[in-house]
Amino acid sequence: MAMIQIREALRQAMQEEMRRDESIFLMGEEVAHYNGAYKVSQGMLEEFGEDRIVDTPISENGFAGLGVGAAMAGMRPIIEFMTWNFSLVAFDQVVNSASKIYQMSGGQYSIPIVFRGPNGLAENLGSQHSTSVDSLYAHFPGLKVVTYATAYDAKGLLKAAIRDPNPVVFLESELTYGIKGEVPDEEYIIPLGKADIKREGTDVTLITWGKQLFNVEKAAGDLAAQGINAEIVDLRSLRPLDHETVFNSVVKTGRAVVIHEGFLFAGVGAEICARIQEACFDILQAPVLRVTNRDVPQPYATNMEQLVVPSPDRIVQAVRTVMER
Amino acid sequence: MAESLSLPEKSSLNPVDRDSLSHLYREMLLIRRVEELAAKAYTQRKILGFCHLYIGQESVAVGAAASTSDDYWMTAYREHGQAMAKGMSARTMMAELFGRQTGSSKGQGGSMHLFDKENKFMGGYGIVGGHVPLATGVAWAAKQRKENRVCVCFFGDGAAHQGAFFEALCLAQLFKLPVVFICENNFYAMGTPLHRQSAVTDLSLRALGVGMVSEQFEGFDVEVVRERVGAAADFARAGNGPVLLEIVTYRHRGHSMSDPAKYRPDGELDEKKKSDPLAITKARLTEDFGLSEADLAAIHESVEVEAQDAWDFAHDSPEPDTSTLYDYTYAPQEG
């Protein structure tokens, strides 16, 4: 076991896979000579050269489409968006091209591609650099949507994403690239579509994903001090969604709160709530609540910004509400 | 800028002869007849949705296929003729239009989404200009693997104003990718004539800003298309980077089957029909290669049989098996 930063875990995943498979290349803005806007790809140009670590102009639609075309022709591109906010000018390529070509071609062309980059709140960047795109991409069959909180999950999931024969939307976070975690020395892969119980508990199920796990863990600690034993389900994949793990936990606890960045309205949490009530209606002791971004574009000022996103206090408050029913 | 680089005056192709030109004529005629049958099927509601016919533009696809038969192709949604020129059988094409299990995409794609991996026909796409960046990726892969292949990317004049088109041109030139971009300028983006779409109506000029070699020419004569696309493919194949060709053509029908094309000025269609690709090549065959009326009649008859056979095949094929509904969303993990 080594303690490494999440950016290193992601880098190791790409390096190991690129050494194994020559058809993999990394392309995006500043990934090569600049060593990555957030230094995820540091040193990779030196190891793999300019044909495989490729700087692009600021042209997301263009290079996302280039990646899809290369995938059709048998390569396995990793396309980095400097942030997922910028993917919205490439939405057509991710949705209309990547997610649909396998279907439109009657199964002739698969699209083994990873689109990756940081997503969601990155602190004081204003509304155009703070979007959570989770629900936008999770909406579409044909895409897989994957995210992580820990270095261990980051590496294992990214390796699985690279090996997947389908387009994978891989959601990272600027705020957590520097967080360290234990990663095994030997190779491992975490299959996509498997949630992970990050904390076992008996009283309430807290369902989350991505960096909100850290707020949820803080809240669970506070709740424990109040005598409430929360179970934490880290989804890791939004599509495919491991509803079995969610249902099993809710059957055990009878109560659930979903915590995520992004908006309440038509967010991924709404989907999870709907599935829980369909499958666990008779067991539920209280309505399933959601703690999400408040329904406004992200403001810049720190106090306003922190008001918008989920916080341990808001999570504790929501849990107390479902416990008091 | 690409300094003094320009397309070779002549391609590396051998000149056409009686047999090869007869073959190209037959290909164009088959496309014409299959499209006419598609129109008929559409009016009988055997083909549904959108249906964009290629009638009038056959020389572009057939001429390009004659010079890039083993290269990758990628195109938009007016692609029935291109799919057939690239090697898709009339049967498979028509069955897809009919929405049948035997269609090229097993009924998943329809008129706008024909794909034929075996013939390196990488799809018809329905978002104007959206597929142009994909071609740069295909060319990227071909270049990395030193395949000596180019990617030929077709799109219409309507796509020449999309951001995706411009981004693709920038990337292709920056990375010196072997792409032959072919803008089929048929003068109308749906119902809007070119001069109301663009301040610059010579669309080959779009290449100048990215330093790309380009050429504009009329594409009614299949021999000219074959030769100039061949020259462009030679250029790109030799590692000189991409080329933008603007091939001036004309569609005889409306944008789609639901468009009567009343926006055309009086007399324009009749005038353009004087340069019908079929008439041009037919005249060349009879005048310069000595084809007789009987020779031509034999071609027409065999085309008629093949086109009707495609209809019959599509008509008699089963609808897709509904139990396969979820089979085309995700590719299975290999191994």
The verdict on whether A60 is a catalytic residue reads yes
CA distances from A276 to A164, A228, A266, A324, B21 (A): 28, 21, 16, 19, 67
Percentage of chain A beyond pLDDT 90 is 99
Q: Where are the domains of chain B?
A: 50-258, 269-302
Catalytic residue among A29, A80, A129, A271: A129
Which of A59, A72, A107 minimises the CB distance to B328? A107
Is B174 part of the contact surface with chain A (CB cutoff 8 Å)? yes
Quick one: pLDDT at residue B3? 53
Which of B127, B136, B167 minimises the CB distance to A96? B127
Q: Would the pLDDT of A91 be above 60?
A: yes
The total of other beta-carbon atoms located within 10 Å of residue A315's CB is 26
CATH architecture of A196-323: 3-Layer(aba) Sandwich (3.40)
Q: Chain A partners of B141 at a C-beta cutoff of 8 Å?
A: 69-70, 73-75
pLDDT by 10s per residue, chain B, length 335 = 445 578 999 999 999 999 999 999 999 999 999 999 999 999 999 999 999 999 999 999 999 999 999 999 999 999 999 999 999 999 999 999 999 999 999 999 999 999 999 999 999 999 999 999 999 999 999 999 999 999 999 999 999 999 999 999 999 999 999 999 999 999 999 999 999 999 999 999 999 999 999 999 999 999 999 999 999 999 999 999 999 999 999 999 999 999 999 999 999 999 999 999 999 999 999 999 999 999 999 999 999 999 999 999 999 999 999 999 999 999 999 86
DSSP helix/strand/coil, A312: helix
The alpha carbons of chain B give a radius of gyration, in whole angstroms, of 19
Alpha helix stretches (DSSP H) within chain A: 6-20, 44-48, 60-72, 91, 101-104, 134-138, 151-163, 212-225, 243-253, 268-280, 302-308, 312-323
Q: Chain A partners of B142 at a C-beta cutoff of 8 Å?
A: 73
d(CA A112, CA A75): 8
d(CA A176, CA A64): 25
- Amino acid symbol at B28: M
Cis peptide before A240 (omega within 30 of 0): yes
Phi, psi values for residue B288, rounded to 5°: -105, -20
Number of residues assigned to chain B: 335
Quick one: pLDDT at residue B116? 98
Quick one: pLDDT at residue B246? 98
Q: Where are the domains of chain A?
A: 2-183, 196-323
C-alpha angle A283-A288-A290 in degrees, rounded to nearest 5: 160
Write the Ramachandran bin of A194: left for phi over 0, alpha for psi from -120 to 50, otherwise beta. beta
DSSP helix/strand/coil, A216: helix
Beta carbons of B233 and B180 less than 8 angstroms apart: yes
| pLDDT bucket at A30, cuts 50 / 70 / 90 | very high
CA distances from B309 to B90, B140, B276 (A): 8, 39, 25
Catalytic residue among A8, A29, A60, A172: A60
Quick one: pLDDT at residue B1? 45
Is A109 part of the contact surface with chain B (CB cutoff 8 Å)? yes
Check CB contact under 8 Å for A106 and B142: no
Q: Chain A partners of B113 at a C-beta cutoff of 8 Å?
A: 104-105
Quick one: pLDDT at residue B2? 45
The 10s digit of each residue's pLDDT in A139-186 is 999 999 999 999 999 999 999 999 999 999 999 999 999 999 999 999
The verdict on whether A139 is a catalytic residue reads no
| pLDDT bucket at A325, cuts 50 / 70 / 90 | confident
Half-sphere exposure of B133 (CA within 13 A, CB side): 28
Beta carbons of B56 and B253 less than 8 angstroms apart: yes
For B120, counting Cβ atoms within 10 Å of its Cβ (0-12 exposed, 13-18 middle, 19+ buried), the class is buried
Q: Chain B partners of A163 at a C-beta cutoff of 8 Å?
A: 333
Which of B107, B127, B170 minimises the CB distance to A92? B127
Judged by CB atoms within 8 Å, which residues 184-223 of B form the interface with A? Answer: none
Quick one: pLDDT at residue B4? 59
Quick one: pLDDT at residue B5? 78
Which of B142, B171, B330 minimises the CB distance to A73? B142
Which ipTM was obtained for this model? 0.97
Superfamily of domain A2-183: Thiamin diphosphate (ThDP)-binding fold, Pyr/PP domains (3.40.50.970)
Q: What is the mean pLDDT of chain A?
A: 98
Domain B50-258 of CATH type 3.80.30.20: no
